[in-house]
Structure 1
Amino acid sequence: MRLSPRWISLLISLSISVITVVFLQFVPGADRTMMFITGSTSFLIAYLLVYYVIDVLVFQEVNKIYHSLRELKDAEISKKSIIKSVNPLKKLKNEISHYVSKKEEEIDTLKKMETFRREFLADVSHDLKTPIFAAQGFIHTLLDGAIEDPEVSHKFLKKAAKSLDGLEVLVKDILILTQVESGDIRMHFEPIDLKEVVEEVFEQLESKAKKRDIRLYIKTKDPLLVNADRLRISQVLTNLVSNGITYGKPGGKVTVTIKGTEVKVADNGIGISEEHLPRVFERFYRVDKSRSRAVGGTGLGLAIVKHILNAHDASIDVISKLGEGTTFTFTLSKPENSL
């Protein structure tokens, strides 16, 4: 039964009337006429008074609050659930508390995004400024007369070209990350052999690994097919293996282990402290900024990895200990016709 103001008033008034009539039965000289008149009068007065209090002071105010909340476009508060509630004020209070909690979470998210935006702008400005200023300095030096010396001009041009190459890599990574995040890059899913992709990545990074005296290993059994975008998964593995080489210890190793559809990329390098692990996939986040910039890289590799795997409905986990190394793990799906 819906507890509307009328029903509540009727029940309370009827209770008061019954109690009054019962009480009059114990009063000497009270006849039935008196009890009927007294009972009817008490019922009517109580009904009007209770109805006024409940309807005007409670339900109408609840309706006003409800309509005020309805002006907020994202407020999901049901009028029926409030009015039909045994305690509409408590129900409304709970709904408002839920709405406020939701807004507080959104505000916290916006604050984090604002902080992230400031950090992103600061990092990208720094990373763009460094190669631009370096190339600019070399070119201006050449224009000021150094170009007359063939040996000096060749040396400065090589340095300027290297700075501009680094700038090109940074811009490409930013473009790729933006396209992946916005969904502009569509994944071309097809059955691919993971072992074959890893071997191709090793071939590309072989010279880099030799310079760092890092050995590359692959652990797997038979060729394994997964449903993925070959180019993008190759990019994921290239970034992960390249990081293992860059931050590995001389004489160390990088191992890619494929077990089922699970892929692990592990190194025995310098490792990452626990406090940095939750943020390693953020754009431009560097555990050691001075060392990271010294060895190269844009700080976008792991962010690109994360978003590519998200597009494959896969997540990536990282386990690391300082001085012992780092292991990245992700799982891809099998082709639809695979048993």
Structure 2
Amino acid sequence: MKRKMSLKIKLTIMSVVILTTMCIALAASTIFIADSIVAATLTTPAKSIGPSTEVTVTQDSVPSVDAALGQFRGNTIVVMICLIVFGSVLTYVFASKTLKPLEHLTETVDNININNLDENIPIPHTGDEVDRLTQSFNDMTTKLNQSYQVQKNFSANAAHELRTPLAMLQTQVEVFQMKSDRSATEYNALLQSITESTDRLSHLVNDLLSFTNEQEIDLSYPVDLRSLLDETVFELEEAAEAKQIQVTVSGEGTVYGNDSLLQRAFYNLITNAIRYNVDGGCVDIQIESSRVIISDTGIGIPDEAKPNIFNTFFCVDKSRSRELGGSGLGLAIVKNIIEKHNGYIYVKNNLPQGSVFVVGFDKKEFE
């Protein structure tokens, strides 16, 4: 296996190569210039002479000049080597000091696992790329930890919601088996209970599949909101009549996206508006271009619960939600679908009582 060099060694080698090349070039040019100067000095007279004047160069002066020139060359080479060695050491020390925060970051990152994602790496405050890299990594681990916690809570809640009806089924069957004499009425009661539990399980599984669906949505298809909401209200007409709730739809509007998913989102919202309404109440649905406002006269939502109502398996009143057949995933599915359509959703109080859900498909309005 090929051994990998550290970034510090690579920077040092690169700097040494550059320094050596420059020193050699400088030494070579210095020696060449010195030779040229010496040659010119030996052949140029100290004063002007006439054509008939003879120039005499003594033999004693030539060796001394050659010796001095040789000494100069040797000194130049020695100085060049010293500069290369000294520069290499300085380069290594400087690279070590500069890359120390990066080495510390690498060691810290190697120790991060699923159990300490919430621990941020200390920022070195060097003001360079390592500083920004550390901050970016902390931001990434924070988001990753949040996603992991959401997934962990989702899995735990899903397991709990699935286990509850299964435990009820098991208990009922065991109690039924303990009886020696079973009447037709008891058989019918058991079958009815099993049917209700399996229906709840089926509903919960379908909600789980809908929530975890990550399919891409084609936002090029126009969806007529009035037709879609009229159809949804028609499907829920029986449930509304059972509580004598009046549902009205007004306005026109068109958005782009998947009509089936949008119908599922509005179906959940209108179902909740009916389910948690008072007998003889009202549900008013207003369409304003690319925005839909659903108002009800129901029991309302406490202010402290509003920030959490779109979380998975969150219920304002768990006992009431179970009694009415809620799974705790309806509003989470709604938010997931609306956000896939680049929209937004929020809730506010309806005066004198009830809730108002606002769904919009133009985020500029919300911002």
**TM tier, smaller:** 0.5 to 0.7
Mapping of residues 133-148 of structure 1, within 5 Å = 133-145=167-179, 148=182
1:50-65 → structure 2 map (5 Å cutoff): 55=90, 59-65=94-100
Change (3 A) 1:321 1:191: closer
Aligned to 1:152: 186
Alignment map for 1:1-339 (pairs within 5 Å): 55=90, 59-65=94-100, 68=103, 92-93=126-127, 95-145=129-179, 148-179=182-213, 182-183=214-215, 186-187=217-218, 189-220=220-251, 223-320=252-349, 324-332=353-361
Local SS of the residue matching 2:346: strand
Q: Is the 8 A contact 1:228 1:332 kept in 2?
A: no
Q: What SS class does the counterpart of residue 326 from structure 2 fall into?
A: coil
Contact 1:146-1:152 at 8 Å conserved across structures: no
Counterpart-to-counterpart distance in 2, 1:234 and 1:192: 10
Aligned length: 266
Superimposed CA distance per residue, residues 80-133 of structure 1 (whole angstroms, 9 cap, x where no aligned partner): xxxxxxxxxx98345444444334334443443444344323321221112112
Higher RCO (CA-CA < 8 Å; seq separation 6+): 1
Distance 1:275 1:95, change over 3 A: farther
Gaps of 5+ in 2: 1-18, 20-82, 110-123, 363-367
> Which structure is larger by alpha-carbon Rg, 1 or 2?
2
Cα distance, 1:287–1:106 mapped onto 2, change above 3 Å = farther
CA contact 2:221–2:258 (8 Å) conserved in 1: yes
> How many Å separate the matches in 2 of 1:151 and 1:106?
60
How far apart are the structure 2 equivalents of 1:213 and 1:305? 25
Aligned-residue RMSD, C-alpha: 3.4
**Equivalent residue letter for 2:200:** G
1:282, CA displacement in angstroms? 1.4
Aligned AA (2:292)? V
CA 1:187 to 1:147, structure 2 compared with 1: closer, same or farther past 3 Å? Answer: farther
Report deviation, 1:311.
Answer: 1.9
Q: Deviations over 1:25-64 (max 9, x none)?
A: xxxxxxxxxxxxxxxxxxxxxxx9xx98x95697334443
Measure how far apart 1:145 and its partner are: 4.4
Corresponding residue number in structure 1 for 2:65: none
Q: For the Cα contact (< 8 Å) 1:136–1:160, is it kept in 2?
A: no
Structure 1 alignment gaps of length 5 or more: 1-5, 7-47, 75-89, 334-339
In 1, Cα distance between equivalents of 2:125 and 2:190: 74
Residue identity in the other structure for 2:336: H
Contact 1:273 1:321 in 2 (8 A): no
Letter matched to residue 346 of structure 2: D
Q: Is the 8 A contact 2:308 2:314 kept in 1?
A: yes
What CA distance in whole angstroms lies between the structure 1 residues aligned with 2:314 and 2:188?
A: 35
Question: Is residue 272–residue 322 contact of structure 1 (8 Å, CA) maintained in 2?
Answer: no
Please give the alpha-carbon distance, in whole angstroms, between the structure 1 residues aligned to 2:94 and 2:235: 73
TM-score, normalised to structure 1's length?
A: 0.67
Amino acid in structure 1 at the alignment position of 2:94 = F
